Amino acid sequence: MSVKVTVPAADSNQPSKFRNRTLWALQILAVLFFLAAGVSKLAGAKYNVVVFDKVGFGQWFRYFAGILEIVGAGMLLTPRFATLGGSLLAVVMAGAIIADRLALGGTGIPALIALVVVATIAWFRRSALTLPIRTSRRVNES
């Protein structure tokens, strides 16, 4: 006598619990990091004022970068927008690396680490971009 056991196939669009929890941990850390960075830019922390003076784009660019960091951090909190937020922040970090290397004479390593983190989030959360959008439709009853 043989026993047949049927195991349902795993949904390939659903990440494992471990991966999902790891991504959420990365997302929360990234949100905290980018919120702090963005708020300090908008608040006019002396360090940021000096850095953006050295970069040479003016203080308007400090505000622009701060807003992008805060918006990107907010997007990381929403599964549907995590890929877009991670991509946005990756572009911001690419710019930070270039500015650090060319204008400030730094290594760009902190921004590179942040870029890798947000790019990883963007990559592994990309399946959420294809989630169906729930809409309510009115049906005309005549």
Identify the pLDDT of residue 105: 94
**Model confidence pLDDT, tens digit, residues 78-105:** 989 999 999 999 999 999 999 999 999 9
Phi and psi for 5 in degrees, rounded to 5?
-110, 130
62 and 99 Cβ atoms separated by less than 8 Å: no
State the alpha helices, DSSP H only, in the chain.
Answer: 17-43, 46-55, 59-76, 82-99, 109-124
**Model confidence pLDDT, tens digit, residues 100-138:** 999 999 999 999 999 999 999 999 999 888 766 666 566
* CB burial string 26-38: b at 16+ within 10 A, e below: bbeebbebbbebb
Identify the pLDDT of residue 135: 62
Record the tokens describing residue 39, joined without a space. 């708020």
